[in-house]
Amino acid sequence: MDASTVMALATGAVVSAIFIIIGIVQIRRKTPVGFYTGEVPPLESHLKSVRGWNICHGLLWIGYGLILISSFLVTAFWDADSLYKSLLLFAAVILPLFLMVLGHHLLIRKFLI
């Protein structure tokens, strides 16, 4: 394992930890959380369950963090061309973002009164 791989793993671990911490904080909040897009969180009176809303949003962030660290670990020990590693990392960063946005919109349908 060379220095660039170690740096990539360290960076991936820090970034993933940040997303996982965001998820844990959102799960523990008592008031409705937002999606960090500038969107104002819904009022408590507009939600069927604040706890359910927060748990689902927190799980989105935790899942994103776990996908990121998993992809960094896979590519760190994958002996392949760097183009394939780059494509996998790009997909692991971008595709879950689309899934998170989709999940957020599904949660709006599920939890808003």
Give the pLDDT score at 85: 78
Give the pLDDT score at 83: 81
Give the pLDDT score at 81: 67
- Are 50 and 43 in contact by the 8 Å Cβ rule? The answer is no
Give the pLDDT score at 57: 94
Q: What is the chain's Cα-based Rg?
A: 17
Q: Which residues of the chain, if any, have pLDDT below 70?
A: 1, 80-81
Domain limits at 81?
A: 3-111
Q: For the chain, give percent helix, strand, coil, nearest 5.
A: 75, 0, 20
SS3 13: helix
pTM of the model: 0.87
Print the SS3 string covering 25-70. HHHHCCCCCCCCCCCCCCCHHHECCHHHHHHHHHHHHHHHHHHHHH
Domain total in the chain: 1
